[in-house]
């Protein structure tokens, strides 16, 4: 007749085996999802780059300010895609979400909106309330960009100094 200690040890070993199997399966699924996201972001980046070249060719007879705004808008979006791709790569490598790439994406998105709103605000000079709203939105976005940049700086300093 088996001792109760032996039965308890067998139950504990079975539980540990199930936990290890579950960890391996979930890790595989997590990697598969991250790889899928990376592939979509890579294809999206290539598509955005091609679209930028097409935009430049299509708008070559338009005023330079319009062309530059369209190109800058698209390139900032491309930077966002590439930074997200870096974030996914970091997640695949370390199996934990790293905050800094997402802060940079937020900064880029804020800058992108500030650029677009600045150009739009220039056309709204005669329309008082709409111009004021655009300026307030630019100010709020500027504040958000500053907070995100400060957060990224704090993360870098803490990482460099070996902080938690």
107 with 158, same domain: the answer is yes
pLDDT along the chain (164 residues), means of 10: 62 83 90 93 94 88 81 88 90 84 92 87 78 90 96 91 68
pLDDT at 145: 96
- 10 and 80 share a domain? yes
Of the residues 46, 70, 96, the one at which a domain ends: 96
- Indicate whether 139 belongs to any domain: yes
pTM above 0.85, yes or no: no
Instruction: Indicate whether 48 belongs to any domain.
Output: yes
Angstrom distance (rounded) from CA 74 to CA 149: 22
Tokens of 111: 């800058």
The reply to whether 1 falls in a domain is no
DSSP for 122-163, please give it: HHTTTSHHHHHHHHHHHHHHHHHHHHHHHHHHHHHHHHHTT-
Same domain, 58 and 77: yes
Residue 139 burial by CB count (10 A; 0-12/13-18/19+): exposed, middle or buried?
A: exposed
Domain of 10, in residue numbers = 6-96
What does the pLDDT read at residue 151? 95
């Amino acid at each position: 007749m088996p001792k109760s200690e032996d039965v308890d040890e067998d139950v504990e070993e079975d539980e540990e085996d199930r936990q290890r199997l579950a960890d391996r399966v979930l890790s595989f699924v997590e990697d598969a999802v991250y790889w899928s996201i990376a592939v979509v972001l890579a294809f999206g980046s290539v598509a955005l780059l091609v679209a930028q070249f097409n935009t430049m060719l299509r708008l070559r007879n338009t005023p330079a300010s319009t062309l530059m705004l369209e190109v800058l808008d698209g390139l900032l979006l491309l930077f966002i895609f590439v930074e997200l791709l870096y974030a996914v790569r970091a997640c695949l490598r370390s199996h934990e979400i790293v905050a800094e790439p997402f802060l940079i994406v937020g900064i880029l998105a804020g800058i992108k909106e500030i650029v677009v709103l600045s150009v739009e605000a220039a056309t709204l000079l005669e329309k008082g309330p709409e111009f004021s709203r655009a300026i307030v939105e630019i100010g709020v976005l500027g504040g958000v960009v500053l907070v995100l940049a400060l957060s990224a700086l704090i993360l870098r300093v803490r990482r460099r100094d070996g902080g938690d």
